[in-house]
Amino acid sequence: MFESSCAAARGCCKRFHPCWYSAVVDVKQSPRPAPRLTDVARAAGVSLATASRALADPALVRAETRARVADAAGRLGYVPHGAARALATQRSLTIGAVFPPVDNPIFATGTHALARELSAAGYTLLLASHDYDPAAELEAARALVERGVDGLVVVGLDHDPALYALLERAGLPFEVTWTIDRDGRHSSVGVSHREASRAVVQHLLELGHREFAVIAGETAHNDRARDRLEGVRDALAERGIGMPARRIVEAPFSVPEGRAAFARLVADAPGFTALVCGNDPLAIGALLECGARGLAVPRDISIAGFDDVDLAGALTPGLTTVRVPSADIGRRAAQRLLARLAGESPPRTETLPAPLVVRGSTGPAPR
């Protein structure tokens, strides 16, 4: 019986080939193959080509025909097959992003904005997340390229050279984000971490502080963390103010790590009145540790962060910080990439403002 139906199937419709059925254990799992465009065309009494046009570019088809096709598609619950379309058009309507831990609030915000902006344009986000590991990042990027993304978003400039090579060979447009590429070698949208960091220090200098300490983010594989640290050094050097090496500690970006780092700093290199932190979670950790130690902020010590996460403004005292427009960066990255795919040429590098936000956590240096 299978034999004969097999032979018959071969002749007309290969999709019902019994071998296919026999491979399926649970029939309920796949009740019937999903309808394809051919099915829609048949149901509407038109050719495959017409059905395709009616759905893709309605203007090319008579209104009445168009309606019949739309109706048939609706009745059958037709869903276009993206892979087939991608194969035929050589575009996937998909954008990839390789992000550092997306559970960092700023990247979470950026991801959200990116996803929303893309979907508004009919694109979908393919997201890969790594833990500041260049090898993992490269691997993730390769996976995204294989999936046929039309463009890619990466964070910062610190990447395995093989990543750049991969993207260049594939001729894949990509955007560097958060950081801007001063050399203009890559298309980028972000802020000047270094400048903003200088502004923080200048603010503290104006308040009379001369004894500085820094809790920096981990600078390996992270140009943002390095730039922020460099900004501090720049501003101090300009004024001829020194800062001993032991007043600088590095810590992973998190509140608990910020607490711990502050404790280390107080133990190893006490006497500073101003603390500059690599991001807000670190600063909040430091603030909390101050509270636990009975240190008053800003009376005994001034603390500044970087990023302006939601919480920064809600704390008491509010955290003085730099506002990094994460949502804007995500949104603009999407827009720039889509513009380039449409043949436009947005400015090679786009610098967003990152203003200093002065709140209660910084005040005059104690005398």
Partner DNA sequence: TTGTAGGCGTTATCAT
Partner DNA sequence: ATGATAACGCCTACAA
* Binding footprint of a second copy on the chain (CB under 8 A): 25, 29-31, 34, 77, 79-84, 86-87, 92-94, 101-105, 107-109, 111-112, 115-116, 119, 122, 124-130, 139-140, 142-148, 166, 169-171, 254-256, 259, 281, 284-285, 288, 291-292, 310-311, 313-316, 343
Backbone angles phi, psi at 242, to 5 degrees: -90, 160
Q: At closest approach, how far in Å is the CB of 230 from DNA?
A: 43
Among residues 50, 109, 177, 326, the one that binds DNA under rule CB under 7 A: 50
Closest CB to a second copy among 291 and 355?
291
Among a second copy, DNA, none, what does residue 47 contact (CB within 5–8 Å per kind)? DNA
Which long-range CB contacts under 8 A does 340-348 form with residues at least 24 apart? 340/151, 340/173, 340/187, 341/150, 341/151, 341/173, 346/187, 348/184, 348/187, 348/188
Q: Which of 9, 43, 61, 235 binds DNA (CB under 7 A)?
A: 61
Query: Residue type for 7, please?
Result: A
Q: Which of 5, 7, 21, 62 binds DNA (CB under 7 A)?
A: 62
Quick check: 147 binds DNA (CB under 7 A)?
no
Instruction: Report, in Å, the least distance between residue 87 CB and DNA.
Output: 4
Among 4, 22, 29, 90, binds DNA (CB under 7 A): 90
Q: How far apart are CA 223 and CA 278, in angstroms?
A: 12
What 3-state DSSP class applies to 125? Answer: strand
Q: Residue 78: which residues within 8 A CB-CB, separation 6 or more?
A: 35, 36, 37, 39, 40, 72
What token pair was written down for 14?
């290969």
Residue 56 binding DNA, by CB under 7 A: yes
Q: Check residue 24 for interaction with DNA (CB under 7 A).
A: no
Asked if 175 contacts 188 with a C-beta cutoff of 8 angstroms, the reply is yes
Neighbours of 216 (CB within 10 A): 22
Binding site for DNA (CB under 7 A): 14-15, 19, 33, 36-38, 45-50, 52-53, 55-56, 60-62, 64-66, 78, 80-81, 84-85, 87-90
